[in-house]
Amino acid sequence: MSLKDKILKKKAEVGIVGLGYVGLSLTVEFLRSGFKVYGIDNDNKKVNRMNAGEFPDQEIARSIINPAIDSNQLQISQTYDVLARVDCIIICVPTPLRQTKDPDMQYIMQAVAEIRKYLHQDTLVILESTTYPGTTEEVLLSELENQKLKIGKDFFLAFSPERVDPGNSKYGTKNTPKIVGGITSECTEMAKILYEQVIDSVVPVSSAATAEMVKLLENTFRAVNIGLVNEIAIACNKLDIPVWEVIEAAATKPFGFMPFFPGPGLGGHCIPIDPLYLSWKLKTLNYRARFIELASEINTYMPEYCLSRIVQLLNQNKQSIYGSNILVLGVAYKKNVEDTRESPALDIIRLLEDNGAKVDYHDPYVPNVKVDENSIKRSIQLTSKSIEKYCLVVLVTDHSCFDYKMIQNSAHLVFDTRNSFKEPFETLSRL
């Protein structure tokens, strides 16, 4: 049976390398569609927890993942030897930046090195990890193609950018259109056929590099516009103009304007990082991506700007930041998720403590967090009595479950970086 027929009849077995948020979301959709899935992750503790039925989303675990593990429709392990039997391999490993702001490809290279050992006739390999344009062809193809296996004939290779938005209740993996671009037209078609079995809409593009660029455009668009509105927020503060009112009024224009909102900085695994992949790639071609670099500079500065506003607010109330008890609300990088990667809250906590403040935090999604190499904090219980002992409450992540009225009534001072307290009150200061 050909690979195409196996996919169409859902007889193809799928291997997913990397079981973070993206890999798990894909695993769920393939299981729902009736495919047998092999999940691979290097984290032994994570693998053991998953095999014991412990998942971030317990509802999905109970209804889909745990029954699939029990029936052997899903197997999770650390070892790659299962790839010898799979037909389709999807790579969903992290792609961070180094301290020098250049791409850290170690996780992709580790995965590809293992895949190469087990690659066989009629295998489809898809990279979903965000990276710079050219990675699939320049790195993966050169590693996987050999004298026995030729691209587009014996095996297929494509890129399909992940578009997972944690915490989004409207758009998930299944109903978010999927971009696919292969090394050859045959590769694109095979990847398209696979995703059509689990995703509502699949959009093929002309090449893997085009698909890679699509992802970078999406997140660069957001990063640049957030950088712009963050600079507008700074300008409005200097001009004594309420930035949130300005944005809300501008958003009434039915054409030519799309509202973005300022905040304490960018977090997560995509928007702060992905545009810098493009910037790095262009530097190798002797071109400087000035918009991208400027937006990154402004967005990276926002925690320091928040610190300056906090110092100003305390001074206005005849208090010093040194020795002040400050409560940070929310350390996840965005509302209603547990992910703290690149979270500006951690930068704000470090800056406050560097200036002598005593800082606690509360986040119902994050019971404990590593602020730096030597400091692990635990979330305090949030009550009207516990809030009263802090001279300032700094709202960084606007979780929906916060009792904003209780916080307002209990706090001595509030610095709101998200415009979450819609009605003004005497002790409130907004970003």
**In whole angstroms, what is the distance from residue 79 CA to residue 87 CA?**
17
Contact between 137 and 160 (Cβ < 8 Å): no
Gyration radius (Cα) of the chain, Å: 24
Q: How far apart are alpha carbons 431 and 236 in whole angstroms?
A: 10
Contacts 24+ apart (CB under 8 A), 365-372: 365/332, 365/336, 365/337, 365/338, 365/399, 366/331, 366/332, 366/338, 366/340, 369/331, 369/340, 371/346
Catalytic residues: 270
Nearest to 209 by CA among 155, 138, 293, 308: 138
Question: Residue 29: which of 133, 131, 176 has the closest Cα?
Answer: 176
Cβ-based neighbours of 192, under 8 Å, separated by 6 or more: 180, 202, 204
**Start-to-end CA span in the chain (Å):** 61
How far, in Å, CA of 348 to CA of 305, rounded?
A: 10
CB count, 10 Å around CB of 141? 16
DSSP H or E run through 306: helix 290-316
d(CA 285, CA 273): 20
Q: Which residue has the tokens 């006739």?
A: 121
